[in-house]
Structure 1
Amino acid sequence: MRTPLSLQTDHAPDRRLFLHHALRTTAAAGALLLGGCALRPDTAMTDSRTFSPLPTSPLADHPMHPTQLPLSGWLDWEDPRSGHTWRVWLQMPEFPAPPEGYPALVVMDGNAIFPLAAQWARLQQTRPVYVRGEPCVIIGIGHPGDALFHSDSRKRDFTPPAPDVKPPEGGADVLLDFLQNVLLADWMARIPLNPQRLGLYGHSLSGLFVLHALFTRPALFTDYYAVSPSIWWHDAWLLQEQAHFIASQPNHYRQGADQRANVFLYAGSLEEPSGERPANAPPTGQRHTVRLQITRTREMAQQLQALQWPQLQSSFHLWPDLTHGDTMMPSLMQAVGNMSMPKAWKDADYGLRRE
């Protein structure tokens, strides 16, 4: 048995091997398995198809193996400028890219969210052909380690550099620099991605990061999914970024302009007190009451809609009977579905006709 090793390296040649292997394996309809690849800086990456048993198991007479995500892999990538290291996941579709390239969704909090997005994207490709979307690349951005969420790193990476912010907060631009100038610059040259269909997804504090990206680098992505975003952070500093965005961007979203953005904002109906609550609903914590999760998120969507900029579309969806944490899954399903949506659906009789 070979102990599964993660794909960990800071060396650019090895990142190229990672992408080469992902593309080659996808073309062969194989699998680049999460945790199943061994790579050292001085060796080529190998694909391990045998796995060691779980270290502990309640079923001693039934040896179990670690769960794998087919067509997926990860690496720890050190940013040469900041010295920060982020864990980056990639899932390549099983099917060839459309002529314009694959749509792609970048999901923040990748430790928790990437496996959900990756599996949902794969599931879309099993649907009947007349409701099947285009194959979509999923990219996850997270932090080294096995924890689902890394609190200090999230505060550092997902919060804007607002005035009077003290470390560890305020590093969102450092992460955006890495995404724009390192990761996406490298991978757009290696993977057939469609730059006109590039989405960014974040929940809670990483939802704040998504909106910060929209307001400060609106051309970096085309679709922005901010789920229960932490607009309240630092006395709602984000509203000042929004005001500057509105004042500086109207010409970029005029009819016929190259720049466009689709902005999707979400909240759960149980994130603020209301008179209509199920009898078994959990209580709304005081911090969520003060933070006005629903009110601020809805108002932001309405303000963006009121601009009536032809190339900027904004929407707000309130998920009924869901708390702050519950909004992640349905919004993620919708985000993956949106990014996979084809230009035109085939009709329901497709595949049943005879030429």
Structure 2
Amino acid sequence: MRVLTVFGTRPEAIKMVAVVKALEAAPEVTHAACVTGQHREMLDSVLSLFDIQPAFDLNIMKPGQDLAYMTSAVLQGVGEAIDNFRPDWVIVQGDTTTAFAGALAGFYKKCRVAHVEAGLRTGNLYSPWPEEANRRLVAPLATLHFPPTQKAGDNLRREGVNENNLFVTGNTVIDALQLVANQLEKDANLQTQLAARFSFLDPSKRLVLVTGHRRENLDGGLERVCQALADISREREDVEFVYPVHLNPNVQQVTRTVLAGCNAVHLIEPQDYLPFVYLMRRSYLIVTDSGGIQEEAPGLGKPVLVTRDTTERPEAIEAGTARLVGTSSEGLKAAVTKLLDDAQAYKAMAQARNPFGDGQAARHIVERLLVHG
């Protein structure tokens, strides 16, 4: 069986690592990876960490790229990779432009498509944008659907997906997180190296890890989030923030303008996955608009405040591991303050169960592909 995996962003790469490794370990499978380069530098760091050698590298990134360009470039490039490799299956992950255009390329080439992390929905086509549309558009193109949770599976059932083509697997990000967390746990030298790398952090202060990059938050939302961080950093001496700033120039401009001069807010470069997991483990709580972090942080017992109005991962909200707080400065300040000052509120979130799986998702995915041939 010939399988082509297609991914191009850092989150996709992290979530496909375990699937790639499981495919490469299966004697019945000939596997090739096609990377689009939708996130160039951040993608390469994940490929290096997990020693993944792509057979096809489309390298589509260019300055000022827009969604129309990315979609057409991925569509053409993946189509050419399919012509070259002639796979039985094309596997895409999640909700990116790479996932949608990769699935469309598979459909155009009459190649079966499998969708990892299928079925997540907010119900609002414009939130997250364009991810909600991408994920919905992949569904009718896919032959096999691998939702991470029962709720995601139910979404697909309501949309008419055949039960025989739908398999709840858990989320592959937990597979990747466990690989890295185990490495950090066992390697004392690595722990020492990472502690030295982040020696600017004050062990007497509680650490809040922050990320933010969503397109829908670039129209004022990110600025309000940063203002809340600035206010808290000036009002309290018992907390500090570390913010790996996304490479998007719009994100860079807002964060570095609003947070300039805030000594307790450390703006750092985007981190490779391993040091980022170290920071998650080191943090007291996490503020983010990321989807993947809503899944990862509960596995580490870290409360998550989600700076969005909607989430396609309601399981985290229902389990109590995450809270939607929007992008109001006052709302975010109140939510952070409550977790810093209210031990019971913190404990309730930190000890909530992780609803996203047991780290065996990749194995389930490959087993099901082999059954379908």
The structure with more helix, counted as a fraction of residues: 2
Fold match (TM-score > 0.5)? no
- Structure number with higher relative contact order (C-alpha < 8 Å, ≥ 6 residues apart): 2
The structure with more strand, counted as a fraction of residues: 1
TM-score, structure 2 normalization: 0.27
Based on CA coordinates, which of the two structures has the bigger radius of gyration? 1
TM-score, structure 1 normalization: 0.28
